[in-house]
């Protein structure tokens, strides 16, 4: 559907294309979830009620779908770019993992693939050139300000890319070794990709090493590290060095997203 929206609308009015894509994907997912799983709650970027801090039925529900109908909205509106995604994750109250995610799928329509937990992708192959720089995916538009220093510290090469889902998919497929974000994000930006990454056996945590948790009253989840297991300890140590002495807060963050910057 999103590929059809792009084809029908063209790229002359990016804001209108972004709005049309968000709306079409949200409406489709909301209708299908209501039809197939009428008893479950939904937390969606495009549903203001579900996003409300503390107020929604999702806080008492046993099963909550965490949905980002269009992640990488900016890239979706740029002709030729394929780094945008659709995220659908299922959170369950009695799940055995701290993150609570029991299923997830990340669709990359312009890359013609879907990564999902029902048949988790294989763990990525070891880097072809031993000793080559670690490749770290980061936001194209809002990379954490400490990332350049961190890259220098660990000898990493930064790979700018849009969409949290597309970046985590790049870690899953071995195109990059890690994804680091800080400074702002929401549960729907990472839930489905983190479900796939952990089902694949990759490391996923906050940048201080603590667990990612979902379906919290406040859906803000501002930072994360997803990487190959062997890189978790060195990258968390490098993150500690960057963040030591100050909180991982606005000082280290890119400016928060505004409607215009999305």
Question: Which residues belong to the annotated binding site?
Answer: 45, 68, 70-71, 189
Token representation of residue 168: 């985590």
Residue pair 206/226 in contact by the 8 Å Cβ criterion: no
CB of 185 to ligand A3P, least distance (A): 5
- Residue 84 CB, shortest distance to ligand A3P, in Å, is 7
Contacting residues toward ligand A3P, per CB under 6 A? 45, 68, 71-73, 139, 141-142, 162-164, 183-185, 189, 254, 256-257, 262
Q: What is the x/- site pattern for Mg ion, positions 35-74, by CB under 5 A?
A: ---------------------------------x--x---
- The arrangement of strands across the sheet holding 41-44 comes to 41-44, 63-71, 85-92, 101-108, 113-116
**Comparison of 41 and 85: residue with beta carbon closer to ligand A3P:** 85
Contact status: 177 vs Mg ion (CB under 5 A): no
Contact indicator for 46, 34 with CB cutoff of 8 Å: no
- Write out the two tokens for 253: 């963050």
The angle, 0 to 180 degrees and rounded to 10, between the axes of the packed helices 2-9 and 14-36 is 150
Residue 129's φ and ψ, nearest 5 degrees, are -110, 105
Which residue's CB is nearer to ligand A3P, number 63 or number 74? 74
Q: Binding mask 113-142 vs Mg ion (x if CB under 5 A, - otherwise)?
A: ------------------------------
In Å, how far from its chain's centre is CA 171? 12
Shortest Cβ distance from residue 82 to ligand A3P (Å)? 13
DSSP H or E run through 167: helix 164-173
Question: Least CB distance from residue 128 to ligand A3P, whole Å?
Answer: 26
- Tell me whether residue 109 or residue 184 sits nearer to ligand A3P (CB atom): 184
Q: Please, which residues have CB within 8 angstroms of residue 82's CB and are 6 or more apart in sequence?
A: 108, 110, 111, 166
Instruction: For ligand A3P, give the closer residue by CB, 73 or 242.
Output: 73
CB 97 within 8 A of CB 198: yes
Q: How far is the CB of 60 from ligand A3P (least distance, A)?
A: 26
């Amino acid at each position: 559907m999103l590929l059809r929206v792009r084809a029908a609308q063209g790229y002359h009015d990016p804001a209108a294309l972004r709005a049309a894509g968000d709306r079409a994907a949200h409406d489709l997912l909301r209708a299908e979830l209501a039809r197939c799983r009428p008893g479950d709650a939904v937390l969606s970027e495009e549903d203001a009620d579900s996003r409300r801090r503390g107020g929604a039925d999702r806080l008492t529900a046993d099963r909550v779908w965490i949905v980002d109908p269009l992640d990488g909205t900016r890239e979706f509106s740029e002709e030729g770019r394929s780094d945008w995604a659709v995220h659908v994750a299922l959170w369950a109250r009695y799940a055995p993992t701290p993150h609570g995610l029991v299923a997830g799928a990340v669709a990359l329509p312009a890359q013609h693939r879907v990564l999902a937990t029902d048949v988790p992708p294989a763990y990525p192959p070891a880097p072809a050139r031993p000793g080559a720089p670690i490749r770290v995916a980061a936001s194209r538009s809002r990379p954490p300000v400490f990332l350049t220093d961190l890259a220098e510290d660990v000898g990493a090469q930064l790979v700018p890319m849009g969409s949290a889902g597309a970046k985590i998919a790049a870690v899953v497929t071995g195109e990059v070794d890690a994804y680091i974000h800080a400074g702002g994000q929401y549960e729907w930006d990472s839930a489905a990709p983190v479900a796939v990454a952990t089902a694949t056996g990759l490391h996923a945590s906050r940048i201080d090493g603590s667990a990612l948790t979902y379906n919290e009253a406040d859906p803000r989840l501002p930072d994360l590290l997803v990487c190959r297991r062997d890189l978790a300890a060195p990258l968390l140590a490098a993150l500690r060095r960057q963040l030591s002495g100050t909180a991982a807060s606005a000082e280290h963050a890119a400016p928060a997203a505004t409607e215009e910057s999305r």
